[in-house]
C-alpha cells in the first residue's frame, strides 16, 4: 500500500489567519512516502571439498538481508556424498551466523570412506587398595570418540575375594564420554580380615578304671560247698530261736509279728522231710502188699 507524507518546504502560508468576508483556501501538498531499499547481502556460500580442497559437488548459496540469521548445520546442507564421509572432527565454526555485507563461505570437508581415520577413545578401569597396589587386573573400554561409556555396572565394579569396594571413594568419572585423551577410572578396595572358625572343644572323657579281677583259683579256695537243705534248715532254726527269745523278753514288734506270720504260713523244712518219709514208707508198704497179693493169687 502506497503511503504519503507532507513536505515541510511546501506548507501553505495561510494555514493560520482570520476569517474575512471573502472565501479563503489553505492547500497542503503531499508526496508519496518511499522506504529506503535495504542493502542486499552478498550471501553465504556452502562448499563441499575433500582433504585437498577439491570440490566434490556443486556449492550451495544462501541469500538474505544483512543482519538476518542463517543456519547450514542441518541435514539439508550436511549432505551425503557417495564414497565419502563428512569429517566430523573438522566441522566449520561458521555453520551458524548472520548475513553481512561480505560474502561468507562455509566449507565442509569430506574424507574417502576407505581411508577415513577412526579415532577411538580409551578408558582404563583400575582396582587398587588404599596404598595404590593393584588387587585385580585392569579392564579397558574402547569405543569411538564422542560415545558414552559406563563403568558403574557389575561388569566393572567387581567382587574381589578378600576385599570390599570402598563406597566412600567411588570415582566420579565412572560414567562419561570417550575422548581422544586416555582416561582412568580407579576403584579402591579395602582388605577384609578373614576369621577362621575355631573347632568346638570336645569334653574330656575319663576312661573307667578296670575292676580288679579276682583270680579264679582264689575264689575256688574260699568257696565252701553247703547243701541247700542243710542251709535252709539252719537259717530257719536260727530265726525261730531268736524269735522265741525276743517273745519271752518283750512284746513282739510289728517286724517280729510279720516274721511269725511268715513262719506260720510256710512249713518247716524238718517237718517237710518227715512228711516225705512217711509218704514214702506208706507207698513202699502198699507196693509190698500188692506184690504179696499177686503172688498169692497165682499160687491158687
Domain assignment present for residue 273? The answer is no
pLDDT reported for residue 150: 95
pLDDT reported for residue 68: 93
Domain assignment present for residue 62? The answer is yes
Domain assignment present for residue 30? The answer is no
Whether residues 128 and 187 fall in one domain: yes
User: What span, in angstroms and rounded, lies between the C-alpha atoms of 116 and 52?
Assistant: 14
Tell me the pTM. Answer: 0.32
Give the domain range for residue 98: 44-112
End of a domain among 87, 112, 137? 112
Domain assignment present for residue 11? The answer is no
CATH of the domain at 165: 3.10.20.320
Angle between helices 254-265 and 228-249 (to 10 degrees): 140
Q: How many domains does the chain have?
A: 2
Domain assignment present for residue 70? The answer is yes
Whether residues 187 and 130 fall in one domain: yes
Domain assignment present for residue 240? The answer is no
Q: Digits of tens for pLDDT over the chain (300 positions)?
A: 456 566 666 788 787 888 888 888 888 888 777 666 666 778 999 999 999 999 999 999 999 999 999 999 999 999 999 999 999 999 999 999 999 999 999 999 999 986 545 567 899 999 999 999 999 999 999 988 888 999 999 999 999 999 999 999 999 999 999 988 899 999 999 999 876 666 666 666 666 666 555 554 544 444 445 444 554 455 555 555 555 555 444 444 554 555 455 555 555 556 666 767 777 888 888 888 888 777 777 776
pLDDT reported for residue 280: 81
pLDDT reported for residue 115: 52
Whether residues 186 and 125 fall in one domain: yes
Phi-psi map region of 33: left, alpha, beta (phi>0 left; psi -120 to 50 alpha): beta
Which residue has cell 565412572?
A: 174
pLDDT reported for residue 5: 62
End of a domain among 145, 170, 191? 191
End of a domain among 156, 191, 226? 191
Domain assignment present for residue 233? The answer is no
Long-range pairs, 267-274, Cβ under 8 A, ≥24: 268/236, 269/229, 269/232, 269/233, 269/236, 270/233, 273/229
Domain assignment present for residue 97? The answer is yes
Amino acid at each position: 500500500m502506497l503511503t504519503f507524507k507532507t513536505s515541510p518546504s511546501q506548507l501553505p502560508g495561510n494555514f493560520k489567519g482570520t476569517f474575512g468576508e471573502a472565501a479563503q483556501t489553505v492547500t497542503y501538498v503531499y508526496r508519496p512516502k518511499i522506504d529506503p531499499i535495504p542493502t542486499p547481502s552478498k550471501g553465504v556460500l556452502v562448499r563441499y571439498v575433500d582433504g585437498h580442497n577439491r570440490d566434490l559437488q556443486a556449492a550451495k548459496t544462501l541469500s538474505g538481508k544483512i543482519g538476518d540469521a542463517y543456519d547450514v548445520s542441518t541435514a539439508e546442507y550436511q549432505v551425503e556424498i557417495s564414497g565419502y564421509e563428512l569429517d566430523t572432527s573438522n566441522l566449520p565454526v561458521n555453520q551458524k551466523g548472520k548475513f553481512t555485507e561480505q560474502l561468507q563461505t562455509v566449507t565442509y570437508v569430506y574424507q574417502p570412506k576407505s581411508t577415513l581415520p577412526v579415532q577411538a577413545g580409551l578408558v582404563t578401569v583400575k582396582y587398587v587398595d588404599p596404598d595404590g597396589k593393584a588387587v585385580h587386573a585392569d579392564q579397558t573400554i574402547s569405543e569411538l570418540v564422542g560415545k558414552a561409556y559406563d563403568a558403574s555396572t557389575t561388569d566393572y565394579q567387581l567382587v574381589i575375594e578378600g576385599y570390599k569396594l570402598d563406597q566412600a571413594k567411588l570415582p566420579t568419572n565412572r560414567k562419561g564420554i570417550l575422548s581422544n585423551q586416555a582416561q582412568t577410572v580407579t576403584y579402591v578396595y579395602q582388605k577384609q580380615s578373614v576369621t577362621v572358625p575355631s573347632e568346638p572343644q570336645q569334653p574330656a572323657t575319663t576312661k573307667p578304671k578296670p575292676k580288679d579281677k579276682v583270680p579264679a583259683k582264689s575264689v575256688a579256695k574260699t568257696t565252701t560247698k553247703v547243701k541247700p537243705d542243710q542251709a535252709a534248715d539252719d537259717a530257719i532254726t536260727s530265726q525261730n530261736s531268736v524269735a522265741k527269745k525276743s517273745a519271752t523278753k518283750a512284746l513282739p514288734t510289728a517286724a517280729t509279728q510279720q516274721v511269725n506270720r511268715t513262719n506260720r504260713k510256710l512249713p518247716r523244712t524238718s517237718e517237710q522231710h518227715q512228711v516225705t518219709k512217711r509218704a514214702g514208707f506208706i507207698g513202699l508198704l502198699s507196693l509190698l502188699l500188692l506184690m504179696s497179693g499177686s503172688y498169692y493169687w497165682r499160687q491158687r
